[in-house]
Amino acid sequence: MRLVRYGRPGKEQPGMIDDEGKLRSLAAVIDDIDAAQLAPKALRKLEKIDPATLPLVRGNPRFGVPVKHVGKFVCIGLNYSDHAAEAKMPLPKEPIVFMKAITALTGPDDPIMLPKGSKKTDWEVELGIIIGSRAQYVTEEDALKYVAGYTVVNDVSERSYQLERGPQWDKGKGCDSFGPVGPWLVTPENIGDVQDLDLYLEVNGKRMQTGNTSTMIFTVAQIVSYLSKFMTLEPGDVIATGTPPGVGMGLPKPRFLKKGDQVRLGIPGLGEQQQEVIDWQPRK
């Protein structure tokens, strides 16, 4: 099952993508896709709906973040062995954890805004986990039971803020528009082996990142279990699980985003994002 939220920012409505890739409205069935709809019982109820019975949505509406009211946006750093190698950093013994500000969240095709003074804004395609049930001290064996679904995340990062202005990464990770999430929330039974998913990212049509979740240092189950020991994971929380090699700062001649660049990224089965890079502007 592929769930979406579509419409103008702040006015999104719930939807479902049918087997032909067409958008169907869930507005007559649920108010929105929020924490209550991510519970296992609620998801099973939605899965019983025949998409063909739902109204077809005309046109090509904007997609928003596929979950309303994300409580926490948690990220794992240096979680691909090949990315750690390009960054010339040792493999972490435990997951590196940092947070992205909730105000960084944006729809999958909304613009990336360069923060004022940006010099090294970079890209990072990542597998995103969306939590469906409250998780506290869960085991690795049970961890995937707490996952409502998966999505695509672009962990946009301003490297000069992240690495050159103190030891904490958050300043370079939480800028406005630095958290495109979506387009879809895909339930686990629809993606096969979560540790064998391809990831890709292009800038201006040139492939920059190619990876697979099989090279993760810490698996999805290990990440959920680990985080649940340090914080209560709530339904609707989003976890970005790290990026494969090919980021701008890792290139032989580092290359960073500039106004006018076009970014395209995705994970087969989870959908694709496309963003234009623009100068920062205040949100309404």
pLDDT tier at 182, thresholds 50, 70, 90 = very high
Round the average pLDDT of the chain to a whole number and report it: 95
> Which pLDDT tens digit goes with each residue over 21-76?
999 999 999 999 999 999 999 999 999 999 999 999 999 999 999 999 999 999 99
* DSSP H or E run through 271: strand 271-279
d(C-alpha 72, C-alpha 236), whole Å: 8
Paired with 16 in beta bridges are 3, 24
Q: What is the pLDDT of residue 34?
A: 97
260: pLDDT confidence band, cut at 50, 70 and 90? very high
CA-based end-to-end distance of the chain: 33
Residue ranges covered by each domain of the chain: 64-279
In this prediction, residue 88 carries a pLDDT of 77
> Can you give the pLDDT at residue 85?
81
The contacts of residue 123 (CB under 8 Å, 6+ apart) are 154, 156, 157, 201, 203, 208, 209, 247, 248, 257, 263, 265
CATH number of this structure's domain 64-279: 3.90.850.10
Per-residue model confidence (pLDDT) at position 77: 93
**DSSP-H helix ranges across the chain:** 40-47, 81-86, 159-163, 220-227
